């Protein structure tokens, strides 16, 4: 009887000790894993905050648009994806995205405030001089404006690269600088992908 009792005590002792060690080991493993999850969770929260912050800033600073016309062919074609930036200043020859009553358009700034624009048969003049263009685009006036046009303060004159398309300042007149949605900084050849 003593032997059975001592075996039971020994067995109980070892079971308790094994249980204690298992619990201690489990709590150490659990603490180790929980610590890792805590750091991982913090990192994921920080990453999510950075992504959301960058998205909000990008909406305020720039934009992404797919072009659905041929107004600036061959520089930008139908289906191209453009990235614009609103923080940079505007200069002559900048390709810009702008708002009109007909929607959002893409065009090139050819004259800024204080400039005089005159369009004759086949070409245009800025301040009585023919501007340099890498590719010469024949330019014809529309019937809506009388030339020469003096650009007022806070306005610009925009032409399409494909000048047969008259949906630019020849049709709308001078465009307010407030209507510019951003300067094109990159063009992705997005079509046929």
Q: Which of 61, 82, 102 represents a domain boundary (last residue)?
A: 61
Answer yes or no: do 91 and 169 share one domain. Answer: yes
In this structure, are 9 and 77 located in the same domain? no
Same domain, yes or no: 176 and 132: yes
> Would 180 be classed as within a structural domain?
yes
96 pLDDT above the threshold of 70 = yes
The share of the chain scoring above pLDDT 70, in percent, equals 78
177 in a structural domain: yes
In this structure, the answer to whether residues 72 and 94 fall within a common structural domain is: yes
For residue 123, the model assigns a pLDDT of 86
Helices assigned H by DSSP within the chain: 2-61, 169-172
Give the pLDDT mean for 143-166. 85
Residue 89 sits in the same domain as residue 39: no
Residue that is last in its domain, among 27, 44, 61:
61
* Domain co-membership, 169 together with 101: yes
Task: Look at residue 6 in the predicted model and tell me its pLDDT.
Answer: 47
12-52 pLDDT, tens digit each: 554 555 555 555 555 555 555 555 567 777 888 889 999 98
Does the pLDDT of residue 4 top 50, yes or no? Answer: no
- In the chain, the number of structural domains is 2
Nearest to residue 169, comparing CAs of 159, 154, 155?
A: 159
Arithmetic mean of pLDDT, 115-136: 84
Q: Are residues 100 and 42 in the same domain?
A: no
- Which CATH number goes with the domain that contains 141? 2.10.109.10
- Distance, in Å, from the CA atom of 108 to the CA atom of 103, rounded to the nearest integer, reads 16
Classify residue 193: in a domain, yes or no. Answer: no
Kindly state whether residues 128 and 46 are assigned to the same domain. no
Residue 151 binned pLDDT confidence (cut-offs 50, 70, 90): very high
- In Å, how far are 15, 36, 46, 67, 171 from 157, measured between CA atoms? 89, 59, 45, 20, 11
Residue 6's Cβ-side half-sphere holds a number of Cα atoms within 13 Å equal to 3
Q: Do residues 116 and 140 share a domain?
A: yes
Averaged confidence pLDDT in the chain? 78
Same domain for 130 and 79 = yes
Structural domain range at position 11: 1-61
Mark whether 91 and 118 lie in a shared domain. yes
Whether 39 and 103 share a structural domain:
no
């Amino acid at each position: 009887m003593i032997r059975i009792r001592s075996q039971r005590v020994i067995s109980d002792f070892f079971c308790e000790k094994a249980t204690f060690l298992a619990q201690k080991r489990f709590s150490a493993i659990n603490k180790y894993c929980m610590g890792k999850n805590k750091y991982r969770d913090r990192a994921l929260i920080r990453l999510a905050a950075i992504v959301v912050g960058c998205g909000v800033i990008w909406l305020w600073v720039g934009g992404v648009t797919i072009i659905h016309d041929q107004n600036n062919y061959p520089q930008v074609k139908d289906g191209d994806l453009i990235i614009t930036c609103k923080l940079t200043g505007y200069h002559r020859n900048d390709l810009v995205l702008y708002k009109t009553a007909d929607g959002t358009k893409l065009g090139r700034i050819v004259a800024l405030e204080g400039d005089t624009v005159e369009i004759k048969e086949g070409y245009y003049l800025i301040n009585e001089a023919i501007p340099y263009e890498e590719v010469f685009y024949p330019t014809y006036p529309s019937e809506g404006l009388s030339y020469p046009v003096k650009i007022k303060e806070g306005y610009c004159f925009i032409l399409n690269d494909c000048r047969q398309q008259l949906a630019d300042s020849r049709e709308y007149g001078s465009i307010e600088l407030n209507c510019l949605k951003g300067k094109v900084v990159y063009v992705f050849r997005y079509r046929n992908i």
